[in-house]
Amino acid sequence: MSTEAIAAERPKRNYNALFGLTLLALLVLLWVILSLATSSFASANNISNLLRQGSMIAILAVGQTFVIITGGIDLSVGAVVGFTTVIAAMLINAGVPVFAAILITLLVGVAIGLFHGFGIVKMGLPPFIITLATLTSLRGIGLLMTNGNSISINNDAFQEFSRNSFVGIPNLFWMVILVGIPAYIFLHHSRWGRYLFSVGSNAEASRLSGVNVQRTIYMAYTLSGLCAAFVGVLLASRIGIGNPTQAEGWELQAIASSVIGGTSLFGAVGSVHGPLLGAFILATINNGANLLNVNAFWQRIITGLLIIVIVYFDGLRRRGK
């Protein structure tokens, strides 16, 4: 029996390693095709634009992936982004130093994540429910706070940040690197990362092995909330307003990026680089479709089809075919 297992295991592992490369190849292929098909795609301006478009979803997808690896889901991230644009805008307009305003906004994200952890661990609510509840409530709280209006941010330096570049690369993309590298080390080289996987694979076995399952769940949702609040700051900087209805549906784009990047919604399978690639594949499709004058409605359909195709092939791979 063991010899069979050995024989079956080899090609599977290779395929597994190939998956990340396949995504990268898909991204490059899309870029090559679009460069040939349109004159404007390969321009520096458009590439910068594309990187900006993809960056925020990419950061959300990283936080989302931590949660999905534990076997959960965080539907609130889009609402957290919208809500935290309001927080950041109000703080900055109230004269709070930008640095402190950002820090407080991030802490709000942490608090929301802790609340999710509390709901799941202490109240026994399913992740889907508790994060769905905050999704709708946060939008409501934000609308109450702003009376339904947008808040214009009157701080040019804050807004400059998201438009500027550093060594030719948009600042927003640097933020992806700023989040991605610690996230990678955290997930793949720290024991907390290991515990995310083990809890997602088998919470009971992890508990019996001495893993603090509750703390691990708190951690996952807190990190997701933190990533979302960070994106909220970036979005506030980019559009210069605080508006609680911003980032509608971003949670689904983050989940889609994560899944396209090889994360299993059943938990215990995922990486940091996969969701990042997934987010930029989605951004490229949207960007390319715009340039090709494809009806914007088609973009959503294409995204849906892409999710089906990639997850289907990934499922085949996992079943060892």
Partner 1 sequence: MTSTAQELHPAPTLQPGRTILELNGLEKRYPGTHALKPVHLAFKAGEIHAIVGENGAGKSTLIKLLTGVMPRTSGEVIWEGQPAALATPHEAMALGINAVHQEVVLCRHLTVAANMFLGEEESRFGLLQQRAMVKDAQKIINGLGFDLPAHVVLGDLTIGQQQLIAAARATVRGTKLLIFDEPTAYLTRKEADQLFKLIRRLKGEGVTIIYISHRMEEVFELADRVSVLRDGTLVGTRDIAETNEPELVKLMINRSIEQIYHKEHFTPGAAIVETKSLSGKGFENVSVTVRAGEIVGLYGLIGAGRSEFVTTLYGRHKKSAGQILWQGREVQVNSEHDAIRLGMALAPESRRDQGLCLNLPVGMNLNLPIYKRISSNLLISGAKEKAEADRQIADLRIKTPTRNALASSLSGGNQQKIVIGKWLAHGAKLFIFDEPTVGVDVGTKAEIYRLFSALLSKGAGIILISSYLPEVYELADTLHVFRRGKLVATHGFRTADHEDILTQALAEKQEKQGGQT
Report the greatest alpha carbon distance in the chain.
69
Q: How far is the CB of 103 from partner 1 (least distance, A)?
A: 22
Site string for partner 1, 128-167 (x = CB under 8 A): ----------------------------------------
Pairing of strands 169-170, 165-166: antiparallel
**Binding of partner 1 by 8 (CB under 8 A):** yes
Nearer to partner 1, 210 or 249 (CB): 210
Q: How far is the CB of 172 from partner 1 (least distance, A)?
A: 28
* Packing angle of the helix pair 213-239, 156-163 (nearest 10 deg): 100
Nearer to partner 1, 140 or 182 (CB): 182
**Binding of partner 1 by 66 (CB under 8 A):** no
**Binding of partner 1 by 19 (CB under 8 A):** no
DSSP codes joined into one string, 82-128: HHHHHHHHHHHHTT--HHHHHHHHHHHHHHHHHHHHHHHHTS---HH
Nearer to partner 1, 22 or 201 (CB): 201
Q: Are 83 and 97 in contact (CB under 8 A)?
A: no
Nearer to partner 1, 269 or 282 (CB): 269
Residues near 180 by beta carbon (within 8 Å), at least 6 away in sequence: 58, 62, 272, 273, 276
Instruction: Please pick, from the candidates 111, 133, 268, 311, the single residue that binds partner 1 as defined by CB under 8 A.
Output: 268
Residues 170-229 touching partner 1, rule: CB under 8 A, are 185, 189-192, 194-195, 197-198, 201-202, 204-212
Pairing of strands 169-170, 241-242: unpaired
**Binding of partner 1 by 319 (CB under 8 A):** no
Q: Are 69 and 197 in contact (CB under 8 A)?
A: yes
CA-nearest of 54, 49, 56 to 234 is 56
Q: What whole-number distance in Å separates Cα of residue 165 and Cα of residue 212?
A: 42
**Binding of partner 1 by 1 (CB under 8 A):** yes
# residues contacting partner 1 (CB under 8 A): 31
In the 8-state DSSP scheme, what is residue 295?
-
Q: How far is the CB of 16 from partner 1 (least distance, A)?
A: 9
Nearer to partner 1, 42 or 185 (CB): 185
Residues near 241 by beta carbon (within 8 Å), at least 6 away in sequence: 85, 89, 150, 151, 152, 153
Nearer to partner 1, 83 or 197 (CB): 197
Instruction: Please pick, from the candidates 9, 136, 298, 316, the single residue that binds partner 1 as defined by CB under 8 A.
Output: 9
Nearer to partner 1, 9 or 160 (CB): 9
Q: What whole-number distance in Å separates Cα of residue 260 and Cα of residue 303?
A: 10
CA-nearest of 74, 79, 86, 81 to 222 is 74
Instruction: Please pick, from the candidates 175, 228, 269, 285, the single residue that binds partner 1 as defined by CB under 8 A.
Output: 269
Nearer to partner 1, 5 or 123 (CB): 5
- Binding residues for partner 1, rule: CB under 8 A, are 1-2, 4-6, 8-10, 13, 185, 189-192, 194-195, 197-198, 201-202, 204-212, 268-269
